[in-house]
Amino acid sequence: MKCIRLRKHLLPYAEGVLPERLLKRLEEHLAACDSCTRELDEIARTVSVLRQTDYPQMEPAFDLRSRVMARIPREPVRRSRWAGKLPAYSAAAAALLVFAIIIVAVEPVFFPNEQAARSPELAMKETMPREKAMDLEARPEPPSKGAGFQLGAPMTHGGPQAVRPTATSAPGMKLPAAKPSERMAEALAPPVPKGQDFAHSDSAAGRLRVGEKVAETWALKRGEATDTVTGGYEMGKSLGVESLTAAPATPPPPAGPSLAGAVPEGHPRDVAQAYFGGTQQAPQPAAELPGRAEDLAMGMGNVSPGREARVRLEPEKAAGERIVVLEKRLREFPNSRTVLGDLVHAYREAGRAEDEYAVAQRLTKLDPENAKYWLALAQAAEKAKMPRTAAAAYRRVVELKPAAADLELANSRLKALEAADK
């Protein structure tokens, strides 16, 4: 077996977790391959170094819990509506999508039937050969209905689908016969009004068709078949399609449902709802969604706010509480320099200079090379009225060559103490 296939098993082998079957195979290979043996040796040594390395972690902050609890919102946790139901919802969504695709795909099949039910002429045209149908389409419209597309016209004359615009429907004009491929394309295309470009390109006109369908469906159910087109007209009017069309031959009936008010856009359900006087539910503002307001107020959408949102206790109160916690913690970890360091700060905040000095002294004993500890000791000694000790500690800070700011501070305090001593 090639080395490249086995090398990825060298680390599990070095750690002793390689399965038996692979173990035997790898060992056979290693016996015959110097390159892989060397690689294994190097990996094993690296793992050994890592295993021997002491990489201690930081102690958790003593007040982590209180800080987190101060940041979390005071509201019951809402169990996600999706928790455990995701597969079911996914399946439902997939089924809905498939259904929608099927509906779109079979639309050309459904619509001719509907139109046929409304218009025997259209039905006849759709069933006859294409050439004959084109002849029929090229025939002039009855004079009473005007030459152009009558958007508001009743469907008794074939409806919009059966009518061509004036420019292409001159009397006696023959349209060129479509090629077989074009016929196929047309047969597959949705039955939109041919020659009316706005119906293809304008989304408002597209909505007009949707509104018309929905309105028709509902009107048929309610026995208002004569007003079916009016709904579409009103819809188109409110959406600005009116300007693209000729004036309606017959004005829309005054009675009956109207979409003159606010028209819901988009979903046919909304159109139908508004058309029949249904109440439309207002969209819920984002800020009113559960938990959202709190997120916004804290600037915490999905992004954590960082240290700006850290909540600290009041200084006086915090120092006392922290001292209690830290002293307890110090009993558990007597040599933890983190706890001792925090304790120095806490004593400093509480104004307990002697205690601060004592703890700082412990720190300098634990790590005599740490300039920060000596600086803390010097400051504590100053507060505890021990100027000579403080001066000595500052001198030690200077000797240890700390960061520039600490060095500057130590030098300035040292000068001040020496001047005061003189």
Partner 1 sequence: MTDSKQNADLLSEGSASGRVVETAGEAAGRLSEHDADTELVLRAQTGEASAFGELIDRHQRAVYGIVSRMVDTRDDADDLVQDIFVSAYRAIGSFRRDAKFSTWLHTIAVNITLKWLKKMKRRSTVSIDDPATGLASMIRAEADPSPADSLQQRERNEAVRRAIDSLSDKQRIVVVMHYFEQYSCEEIAGVLKCSVGTVWSRLHYACKKLRGHLDWLEQGS
Strand, coil or helix: what is 288?
helix
Q: Which of 73, 315 has the CB closer to partner 1?
A: 73
| 181 sits near partner 1 (criterion: CB under 8 A) | no
| 67 sits near partner 1 (criterion: CB under 8 A) | yes
Residue 236 burial (CB count, 10 A): 26
- CA-wise closest residue to 321 among 63, 68, 69: 63
Judge whether 158 and 119 are in contact, CB under 8 Å. yes
Q: Which of 41, 131 has the CB closer to partner 1?
A: 41
Distance from C-alpha of 179 to C-alpha of 176, rounded to nearest angstrom? 9
Judge whether 229 and 154 are in contact, CB under 8 Å. yes
Binder of partner 1 out of 32, 34, 55, 261 (CB under 8 A): 55
H helices present in 223-291, as ranges:
228-238, 268-275
| 402 sits near partner 1 (criterion: CB under 8 A) | yes
Strand, coil or helix: what is 313?
coil
Residues 281-320 touching partner 1, rule: CB under 8 A, are: 291, 300, 304-307, 310
| 69 sits near partner 1 (criterion: CB under 8 A) | yes
At its nearest, how many Å lie between partner 1 and the CB of residue 216?
44
At its nearest, how many Å lie between partner 1 and the CB of residue 305?
8
Instruction: Name residue, tokens 């098993």.
Output: 9
Site string (33-52) toward partner 1, x via CB under 8 A? ---------xx-xxx-xxx-
| 80 sits near partner 1 (criterion: CB under 8 A) | yes
The CB-side HSE value for 161 (13 A sphere, CA atoms) comes to 25
Strand, coil or helix: what is 169?
coil
Binder of partner 1 out of 59, 186, 265, 399 (CB under 8 A): 59
| 3 sits near partner 1 (criterion: CB under 8 A) | no
| 17 sits near partner 1 (criterion: CB under 8 A) | yes
* Residue count (the chain): 422
Q: Which of 373, 394 has the CB closer to partner 1?
A: 373
Residues 121-160 touching partner 1, rule: CB under 8 A, are: none
At its nearest, how many Å lie between partner 1 and the CB of residue 329?
12
The number of angstroms, rounded, from the C-alpha of 342 to the middle of its chain's C-alpha atoms is 40
Q: Which of 59, 418 has the CB closer to partner 1?
A: 59
